[in-house]
Structure 1
Amino acid sequence: MDKTGRLWVVATPIGNLEDFSPRAQDVLRRVSLIAAEDTRHSAPLLARFGIGTRLVALHEHNERDEADRLVARMLAGEEIGLISDAGTPLVSDPGFRLVRAARAAGIAVSPIPGACAAIAALSVAGLPSDRFVFEGFLPAKAAARRERLAELASESRTVVLYESSHRVRECLDDMAAVLGAERPAVLARELTKLFETVLDGSISELIARVAADPNQERGEFVLLIGGRPEQEDARLAEGRRVFALLREELPPARAAKLAAAITGAPRKDLYKSE
């Protein structure tokens, strides 16, 4: 009986190519096949390091079907590498179905650790990192984004988010409205790249700094939000959450009055998040 193969989950650089570990390069050279989120994106990186292994696409639209085919190859003894466009696969990137299918089939799955934008940002943010929650990308539409932020309003852990360049200002505005403009936050942009910046301050301060510098809307972003302060009244946190939800359907005054009545939070403090 043929020996079962292995799935290697390999991290690639998020910017600086020197973060591509020798072990990661070696594994990708010797596997039979590399499953990549976007082969056109990954091909230049692999060519830069002399890695000629054949690439196949594995993305959100074909992963369900492709996973079965790749598992069959590994059951026949092949080793396969899994990479995303940048950073660690499965962290807001495809690969979950393949990893789950491989493990269900009894195939060994091994990580090759490396760059991850979320962890890199957390390590330099200066926000509490002993406990945190990763939320990936918030919804693209404003109403759904505010609703999700409202669910996070009472979160005491640091919240880590990804955001795209064309929505970062809108996201910051929604954060101020739902979480309060004075909540501490960090905007990490273009990590490990030439124009890397890490801005910290209150949400309102970040909004002002982004508005004053158009360059701060370019690139790839990680947003980090400080958890709800322990001393903050729980009623106020709940009031802000309810106010944000009601605000989608009602004028501010009406929404604040109802949120205050429902939660017992001071109505004037709910307006501060508007």
Structure 2
Amino acid sequence: MHNSRHTFSTLSLSEILNLEVHEGNRKRKLKELFEVSTGPYTSPEGFTIWMKGDFSKVRYIGYGMSTGKIVLEGVAGMHLGEEMKGGFIQVYGDAGSWVGSMMQGGRIEVFGDVGDYTGAAYRGSGRGMRGGEIIVHGNALNETGCYMRGGLIKVYGSVGQFTGMHMHGGTIMVGGETEGRDGAEMTKGKIVILGRVPSLLPTFKIEAIKPRVKVGEERVEGPFYMFTGDLAENGEGKLYVSKNNNPHLKEFEKYLSPVKVR
């Protein structure tokens, strides 16, 4: 499924049906695995691929795409939108791990849950997502935004551990709760958590209580505890945690500098 939008937009139906794809270590014709039909063609920018069914074992859907749109009604496999540069992917279902890995632009929206490493880097690489936007209406597993350098990730549900690990830029918003270790070894960027966190790493320092915080073009109402870190990495990252949903963090307020009234 590498460069699927670019490939399909330049081919006839007959040519599409005879494209070779890998099923395990074997090559098969696309027509042997999928039913394919076409509609009127307008332009590369207006080109849309509609996919219906269980694609949980199909990897790299939308890999490197730069324009157009992919709509998937079902389950998407791993590496959805990897190295994506533009365009729009919508999934009306769940998606596997590595959604938007090393993404540079465009938008991915998943109306279900996703796996591990959303917007993260390859194993051994230090360059994760650099631009674009990933919206997850469900939950995400571990290491969301690992090595992230730019762009925006919004997870409206809950996440696993190590959200924003090694983060060097960009913004992550979590609407639900986390399993902890948020922002481990981050140096820059912003993490906003609206739900509950079990605890914070000891290498984050409380700086202020903020009434609201900006996430992309949106202002999210708080109040939020604002921490900076990871100090073990001399980090300047910002971690915003809901004050109302984390009463166990109230003890940190004693470390705030008193406000001088003039």
Establish whether TM, by shorter chain, passes 0.5.
no
Q: Which has the larger radius of gyration?
A: 1
Higher relative contact order (CA 8 A, sep 6+): 1
Structure with the larger strand share: 2
TM-score (norm 2): 0.31
TM-score (norm 1): 0.30
